[in-house]
């Protein structure tokens, strides 16, 4: 190999740089006047977006932030969140998005574990942020996003002054492919949340997979309503739209009435929702009165789509092509994709590995299982995280044998289509048999009148775990335990039938739309005792 001087080597590297911060600049040069972001009354072109990112980056640098520093961000979706995602990347600063549903102690853990030196929070969340700061016993640079219009609290800088004023020249910071730019904390369902390190290499390889296998294009007009603190909305959709030069409409939450109104008003062509939100749209009284004719592409993920709901979506939105994205934060996050032409033929499947991914299903020794047999889903891909921050042991365990171990159980058929059976932790062990909660859920969704259902195990003195179903009936429908049990007897083996059936008005969910089975397990843990 030819060797060059350090100066030439650095110059070549800078000219070849392909990091997250570069994507917006390139799009702004291709289509400076195109509408980039809509947030309420704010409508911003790509040139304006790029200039705002540069101003914010330069002000962050002036405040003392340097490459490798961590910035914690606690906010609902907003224009400022979008700016920070790219401003931090241009400095090589690591963005740490924080779940706004967490309490002060949980946030304090993330602040401490990440080593964040700067904390940016939405004004309505400042009280919780200050409690978290107090628990750490450390000082932070502080900036506030004034979404409610309240004055900046004492000690907090108004973030808009960093975005709207100052030097719009792009900072010259060398950012390598594998420099961490995001530290995404997992939901922590089994233990303390882990910090997932994502780099430009991970993220851009994943963007390419989404674009090619997800049918994405520059003429998309997309709503972003699921939390951007999660990489599904931020990195499967929003950042991909920026890469392509598509138009992004930011909403603070997936309120069904506002989603339907926005689709009609903005002539939205593309929408991502987890199954729970698609269900809320289908059940909303305005679903059949709003003009949804512009919608062409629909995506689901975060949890499996019930087959009966999938069929209803295709009946009521016949012109919308659907994709299923399966993955997890550690895969930045997409791993496999089910294409539109496979939706009914392979209903319930997670599809095939995305463009830049290899996927296998293995036994406990890492050997491939036969088609149709259950094993752990593992991946090899540039999508994969760079590791868990400050956690050698969990990183080593996750990458055993040179493959990323997902912790999900699945089956691959003879044609290479993956079906996710369950999370390892969600497999119900009852009477010496394994029951996949998803299989029981799919069976119960076939019953007319079931809007949502969650199946899980609760402690039982005889069965060890008892299969339990919590069901939300459709509006105006009355279901009884006898009605559900009779249906279960027709479609499920005896050991798979729910021993406990509970009706509820809603199911607990996190802001990403995932049903919180851990909360349901806790809430119903004493059903056997009550019996």
Given a contact cutoff of 8 angstroms between Cβ atoms, the answer to whether 68 and 94 are in contact is yes
pLDDT band at 424 (very low <50, low <70, confident <90, very high): low
pLDDT band at 510 (very low <50, low <70, confident <90, very high): confident
In the chain, CATH 3.40.50.980 sits at 43-175
Give the chain's end-to-end CA distance (angstroms, integer): 74
Tokens read off for 259: 């989603």
Q: Give per-residue pLDDT as tens, 225-249.
A: 999 999 999 999 999 999 999 999 9
User: Region 31-54: what's the mean pLDDT?
Assistant: 98
pLDDT at 102: 86
Given a contact cutoff of 8 angstroms between Cβ atoms, the answer to whether 198 and 181 are in contact is yes
pLDDT at 425: 67
pLDDT at 439: 81
Given a contact cutoff of 8 angstroms between Cβ atoms, the answer to whether 276 and 515 are in contact is yes
Spell out the residues 6+ positions from residue 389 whose beta carbon is closer than 8 angstroms to its own: 113, 114, 180, 183, 194, 195, 196, 197
Residues of the chain above pLDDT 90, percent: 82
- DSSP helix/strand/coil, 525: coil
Phi, psi of 401 (to 5 degrees): 75, 15
pLDDT at 341: 95
CATH of domain 43-175: 3.40.50.980
In the chain, CATH 3.30.300.30 sits at 427-530
pLDDT at 275: 86
Q: Which one has a higher pLDDT value, 1 or 290? A: 290
pLDDT at 120: 98
- Residue keyed to tokens 């039982």: 460
- pLDDT above 60 for 190: no
pLDDT at 432: 62
Q: d(Cα 31, Cα 394) in Å, to the nearest integer?
A: 43
Half-sphere exposure of 322 (CA within 13 A, CB side): 29
Q: What is the DSSP annotation of 250-305?
A: E-SS--HHHHHHHHHHHT--EEE--HHHHHHHHHSTTTTTS--TT--EEEE-SSPP
Closest CA to 479 of 459, 441, 505: 505
With vertex at residue 289, the alpha carbon angle to CA 286 and CA 293, rounded to the nearest 5 degrees, is 110
Q: Give per-residue pLDDT as tens, 126-149.
A: 999 999 999 999 999 999 999 998
- pLDDT above 90 for 164: yes
Closest CA to 120 of 150, 100, 149, 90: 100
Q: Give per-residue pLDDT as tens, 69-111.
A: 999 999 999 999 999 999 999 999 999 999 998 889 889 999 9
- Beta strand 221-224 with 247-250 is parallel
Mean pLDDT in the chain?
Answer: 93
User: Region 255-271: what's the mean pLDDT?
Assistant: 98
The conformational region for residue 417 under phi > 0 = left, psi -120 to 50 = alpha, else beta, is beta
Q: d(Cα 151, Cα 122) in Å, to the nearest integer?
A: 12
Q: Does residue 368 have a cis bond before it (omega within 30 degrees)?
A: no
Closest CA to 220 of 278, 268, 273: 268
With vertex at residue 200, the alpha carbon angle to CA 101 and CA 129, rounded to the nearest 5 degrees, is 25
- pLDDT above 90 for 199: yes
- pLDDT above 80 for 360: yes
- pLDDT above 70 for 180: yes
- pLDDT above 80 for 1: no
Given a contact cutoff of 8 angstroms between Cβ atoms, the answer to whether 55 and 229 are in contact is no
In the chain, CATH 3.40.50.12780 sits at 201-424
Following CA atoms 224, 227, 232, 235 in sequence, which dihedral angle do they give, to the nearest 10 degrees? 70
Q: Give per-residue pLDDT as tens, 204-221.
A: 999 999 999 999 999 999
Q: d(Cα 344, Cα 91) in Å, to the nearest integer?
A: 46
Enumerate helices (H) and strands (E) in the chain, giving the number of each: 18, 26
User: Region 23-40: what's the mean pLDDT?
Assistant: 98
Q: What is the 3-state secondary structure (H, E, C) of 458-486?
A: EEECCCEEEEEEEEEECCCCCCCHHHHHH
List the single range of 313-317, 321-325, 509-513 with lowest mean pLDDT: 509-513
Closest CA to 263 of 315, 206, 225: 225
Given a contact cutoff of 8 angstroms between Cβ atoms, the answer to whether 192 and 109 are in contact is yes
Closest CA to 389 of 128, 111, 105, 139: 111
Q: d(Cα 18, Cα 16) in Å, to the nearest integer?
A: 6
Choose which CATH entry (2.60.40.10, 3.40.50.12780, 3.40.50.12280, 3.30.360.10) describes domain 201-424: 3.40.50.12780
Choose which CATH entry (3.30.300.30, 3.50.50.60, 2.160.10.10, 3.40.309.10) describes domain 427-530: 3.30.300.30
């Amino acid at each position: 190999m030819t060797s060059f001087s350090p100066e030439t080597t650095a110059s070549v590297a800078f000219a070849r740089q392909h990091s997250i911060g570069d994507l917006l600049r390139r799009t702004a040069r291709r289509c400076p006047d195109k509408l980039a972001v809509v947030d309420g009354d704010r409508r911003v072109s790509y040139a304006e977006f790029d200039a705002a990112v540069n101003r914010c980056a330069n002000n962050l640098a002036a405040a003392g932030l340097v490459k490798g520093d961590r910035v914690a961000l606690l906010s609902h979706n907003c224009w400022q969140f979008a700016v920070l995602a790219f401003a931090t990347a241009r400095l090589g600063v690591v963005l740490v998005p924080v779940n706004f549903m967490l309490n002060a102690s949980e946030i304090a853990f993330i602040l401490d574990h990440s080593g964040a030196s700067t904390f940016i929070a939405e004004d309505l969340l400042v009280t919780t942020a200050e409690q978290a700061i107090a628990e750490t016993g450390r000082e932070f640079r502080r900036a506030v996003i004034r979404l409610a219009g309240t004055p900046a609290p004492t000690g907090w800088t108004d973030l808009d002054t960093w975005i709207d004023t100052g030097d719009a020249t792009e900072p010259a910071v060398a950012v390598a492919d594998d420099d961490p730019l995001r530290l995404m904390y997992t939901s922590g369902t089994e233990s303390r949340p882990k910090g997932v390190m994502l780099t430009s290499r991970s993220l851009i390889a994943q963007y390419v997979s989404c674009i090619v296998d997800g049918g994405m294009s520059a003429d998309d007009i997309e709503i972003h309503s699921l939390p951007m603190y999660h990489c599904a909305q931020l990195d499967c959709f929003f950042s991909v739209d920026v890469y392509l030069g598509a138009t992004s409409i930011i909403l603070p939450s997936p309120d069904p009435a506002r989603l339907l109104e926005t689709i009609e008003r903005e002539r939205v062509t593309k929408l991502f929702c987890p199954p729970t939100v698609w269900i809320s749209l289908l059940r909303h009284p305005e679903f059949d009165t709003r003009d949804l004719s512009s919608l062409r592409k629909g995506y689901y993920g975060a949890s499996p789509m019930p087959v009966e709901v999938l069929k209803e979506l295709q009946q009521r939105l016949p012109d919308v092509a659907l994709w299923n994205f399966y993955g997890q934060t550690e895969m930045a996050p997409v791993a496999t994709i089910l294409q539109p032409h496979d939706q009914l033929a392979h209903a319930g499947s997670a599809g095939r590995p995305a463009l830049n991914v290899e996927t296998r299903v293995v036994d406990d020794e890492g050997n491939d299982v036969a088609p149709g047999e259950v094993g752990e889903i593992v991946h090899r891909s540039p999508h994969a995280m760079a590791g868990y921050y400050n956690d050698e042991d969990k990183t080593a365990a996750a990458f055993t044998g040179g493959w990323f171990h997902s912790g999900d159980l699945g089956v691959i058929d003879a044609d290479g289509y993956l079906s996710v059976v369950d999370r390892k932790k969600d497999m119900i062990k009852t009477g010496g048999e394994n029951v996949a909660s998803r299989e029981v859920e799919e069976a119960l969704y076939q019953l007319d009148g079931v809007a949502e259902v969650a199946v899980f195990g609760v402690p039982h003195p005889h069965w060890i775990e008892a299969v339990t179903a919590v069901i939300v009936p459709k509006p105006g429908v009355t279901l009884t335990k006898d009605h559900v049990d009779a249906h279960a007897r027709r479609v499920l083996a005896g050991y798979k039938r729910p021993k406990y059936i509970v009706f509820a008005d809603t199911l607990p969910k996190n802001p990403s739309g995932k049903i919180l089975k851990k909360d349901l397990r806790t809430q119903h843990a004493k059903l056997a005792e009550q019996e």
